[in-house]
Amino acid sequence: MRKELFEVIEVCNQYDMETGFVSNGSLFTESAAKQLAGLQVKDIPISLDAPEEELNNWIRGHNARNRTMAGIKQLKRFGNTFSIFIPLPTVS
């Protein structure tokens, strides 16, 4: 997560600009989720690289899916809205 994310959202809010960003959700701690709720971000797209835990972990690294799920729980805890998307593989 970019260090300046919250600052950028605050500035956008001052100018009534809607903000958006995509995350894998793995760094949404209690503090980050609470801060995002206070900034009233409307929807946070959460990217899961694969629906299967093993494949997601292979793509993102050890325990990545569990970290994402923990981040989602924090978002829900503070009433943040989010959506989950899984990129579809391309077929040639």
Burial (0-12, 13-18, 19+ Cβ within 10 Å), 51: exposed
Q: What are phi and psi of 83, to 5 degrees?
A: -130, 155
The candidate with the shortest Cα–Cα distance to 23, out of 82, 74, 90, 89, is 82
Does 53 map to a domain? yes
- The amino acid sitting at 50 is A
Does 42 map to a domain? yes
Range of the domain at 28: 20-85
Does 15 map to a domain? no
Its pTM stands at 0.86
Number of neighbours of residue 38 by Cβ within 10 angstroms: 12
Does 24 map to a domain? yes
Query: Domains in the chain: how many in total?
Result: 1
Does 4 map to a domain? no
pLDDT per residue rounded down to tens, the chain (92 residues): 888 999 999 999 999 998 889 999 999 999 999 999 999 888 999 999 888 899 999 999 999 999 999 999 999 999 999 999 888 776 76
User: What is the pLDDT at residue 20?
Assistant: 86
Question: Residue 82: beta bridge partners?
Answer: 44
Does 6 map to a domain? no
User: What is the pLDDT at residue 88?
Assistant: 75
